[in-house]
Amino acid sequence: ADELLPELFDEGSELLLEVLGGVFEGKYKQDGTGCDVQDDAEATHADKMTKDEGQLWFTENAVYMHNKVRAFAGWPGTSAQLVVQEKGKDPQDVKVKIIPTRVSRP
């Protein structure tokens, strides 16, 4: 993601500069005139997200989990199930909400 963002910024800036003059000249209009209008028949549907999708598993790599936390920020959020056991006591399942994350590079 860190490598892709500058590339997308550069590409998007160039594309914006290519069409911005046409917007001001009236070549491209809000009703779609002059634009490539999406064919709704070709559009695909994404299923609604569920809270279960925000569950983190520590078998996944750190970058994947970090991106998952970023993707699910707000709703449904991300969480992890941990087992905590104090000396001499029974283990307890604890659900932990994960908010900020950071991946350290070696």
Q: What is the predicted pLDDT for the residue at 93?
A: 94
CA separation for the pair 68, 77 (Å, rounded): 9
Q: What is the pLDDT of residue 2?
A: 60
CA atoms within 13 A on the CB side of 71: 14
Cα separation, 30 vs 66, in Å, equals: 37
Q: Which two tokens stand for residue 15?
A: 């594309």
Distance of CA 83 to the CA centre of its chain: 28
Query: Per-residue confidence at 11, pLDDT binned at 50, 70, 90?
Result: very high
Span 52-94, pLDDT tens digits = 999 999 899 999 999 999 888 888 899 999 999 999 999 999 9
Distances (CA, A) of 77 to 26, 30, 33, 45: 42, 35, 40, 22
What does pTM read for this prediction? Answer: 0.55
